[in-house]
Amino acid sequence: MASALGRLGVESNSMRRYDVALGVWIAVLAGVTIYGAATTEGFLTVSNMKAIATAASFVGIIAVGLTVIILSGNLFSLALGQTAAVSAMFFLWALGIGLFPAIVLTLVLGLVIGAVQGFAVGAWGANPIIITIGAAGLLEGTAVWLSHGESIVPPPGETSWEHLAQPVLGLPAPVYVFLVVTVVLAVIMRRTRFGRQIYLLGENRAAARAAALPITLLTVGAFGIASLYTAGAGILIGATSANASLLLTGSYTYDAIAAALVGGNAVTGGRGSIARTAAGALFIAAISDMLLLRGYSTGGQILVRGIIVVVVVVLTNLRERSR
């Protein structure tokens, strides 16, 4: 976060106009949120804060993983919801061989699913959006085929997984997982060669090619991490609902993308951070929660999310352009 702010300070001359616009937008959002928080009954309670943190953690884990794809300049994946649902189904099914092996196998499955998509994108230049739409179809088909269209429940008598959904020190376990995996990924992206190379790849593909960066490997890594994180979220989602089917796909794909975009990551890649996405996920969870408490329908919540996404996309792009 510190380096991102530093960057803002250094380059503010060339982009003052859009910084002002973005600042105004953030101020408006903050104003509305504070007003809403103060006037919505039941919003500023401890139990509601916990609810927001829990809601943000599932989407947040997927969104921070997705951020690596965005930073690498490969837009986003449209197979995340399906990956999460398939991981949840696989995890509950695999519990028969024990909790630890089930977790490891699910994560490996997620990693492989993402790596294969990343290979097609990185090595052959396949369009990431279309590849992931196709992958989503394949995941859905395979899941229905292997599960015979039935939802998966944990093996009878097996209760080890219940810890994954239980509160620890007052907060549900997924919240801690979200925190830890976010910090780990933030460090990887800032401090390791892999992270810096992803930033370079997203910022300037031609330069990355000229510098002989391993573009295929980096892309495989980006999609692999996104899918690995999504599988991790899938495990937690499966453990929380104790019953997994493709219905779990829900709106995780769009929510995760919305969180990353609302956080202000540049869609074209190279600019943004893991922390921004985590903030975006918390913000979207807070807004959705507030709308829910105020009695807005599902439609109203989706509509507001969409409007926020469009405005942020316009403003971030203008700001990036003026650099």
Partner 1 sequence: MSKNGTHFRPRAGELAPFLILGLMVLTLALLPAFTEYTVRTANVYNIFQNFSSYGLVALALGLTIIVGEFDLSVSSMYLLGGMVAVLTGAESPLLGIAAALGAAILVGVVQGGLIAGFRLNSMPVTLGGFLVVLGITYILGGGKSVLYENFDVGLRLDEPVAQIFSIRSLVALGIFAIAAVVLRYLRVGRDMRAIGGDRRAARVAGVRVDRLLIGVFVVSALGAALPGALLSYSLATASPTNIGFDVLTFSATAALIGGVSLSGGKGGPIGIAAGVLSLSMLQEILAILRSPDYVSSLITGGLLVVVTIVWAPHLLQWFRTTRVTTAVADERTPA
247 touches partner 1 (CB under 8 A): no
Q: CB nearer to partner 1: give 139 or 164.
A: 139
298 touches partner 1 (CB under 8 A): yes
Site for partner 1 (CB under 8 A): which residue of 32, 138, 168, 247? 138
Contacts 24+ apart (CB under 8 A), 35-38: 36/290, 36/294, 37/290
CA–CA gap between residue 73 and residue 129 (Å, rounded): 12
The count of residues interacting with partner 1 (CB under 8 A) is 51
Q: CB nearer to partner 1: give 90 or 161.
A: 90
Q: CB nearer to partner 1: give 172 or 202.
A: 202
Site for partner 1 (CB under 8 A): which residue of 261, 275, 281, 290? 261
Site for partner 1 (CB under 8 A): which residue of 37, 191, 300, 323? 300
249 touches partner 1 (CB under 8 A): yes
Query: CA angle, corner 104, sides to 100 and 107, nearest 5?
Result: 140
Minimum Å distance from CB 247 to partner 1?
A: 11
61 touches partner 1 (CB under 8 A): no
257 touches partner 1 (CB under 8 A): yes
Rg (CA), the chain: 20
9 touches partner 1 (CB under 8 A): no
Of 106, 77, 100, 91, which is closest to residue 147 (Cα–Cα)?
91
Q: CB nearer to partner 1: give 17 or 321.
A: 321
Residue with tokens 């992803």: 198
| Full DSSP string of 30-77 | HHHHHHHHHHSTTTTSHHHHHHHHHHHHHHHHHHHHHHHHHHTT----
CB proximity list for 233: less than 8 A, separation 6 or greater: 58, 59, 61, 62, 84, 87, 252
Pick the stretch among 41-49, 95-103, 133-141, 160-168 that binds partner 1 (CB under 8 A): 133-141
C-alpha distances (whole Å) from 220 to each of 47, 117, 128, 133, 139 are: 40, 7, 12, 17, 18
Site for partner 1 (CB under 8 A): which residue of 32, 303, 322, 323? 303
Site for partner 1 (CB under 8 A): which residue of 39, 159, 192, 297? 297
Helices (H) and strands (E) in the chain, counts: 13, 2
Minimum Å distance from CB 142 to partner 1?
A: 7
Q: CB nearer to partner 1: give 3 or 150.
A: 150
Q: DSSP class of residue 168?
A: E
Site for partner 1 (CB under 8 A): which residue of 49, 51, 126, 165? 126
Site for partner 1 (CB under 8 A): which residue of 251, 292, 293, 294? 251
C-alpha distances (whole Å) from 41 to each of 36, 37, 179, 181, 299 are: 9, 8, 28, 33, 21
Strand intervals (E) in 65-159 = none
Chain residues 152-211 in contact with partner 1, contact rule CB under 8 A:
none
145 touches partner 1 (CB under 8 A): yes
CA–CA gap between residue 178 and residue 310 (Å, rounded): 26
Q: Give me the residues that bind partner 1 (CB under 8 A), please.
A: 75-76, 78, 120, 123-127, 129-131, 133-142, 144-145, 149, 249, 251, 254, 257-258, 261, 267-268, 297-307, 309-310, 313-314, 317-318, 321
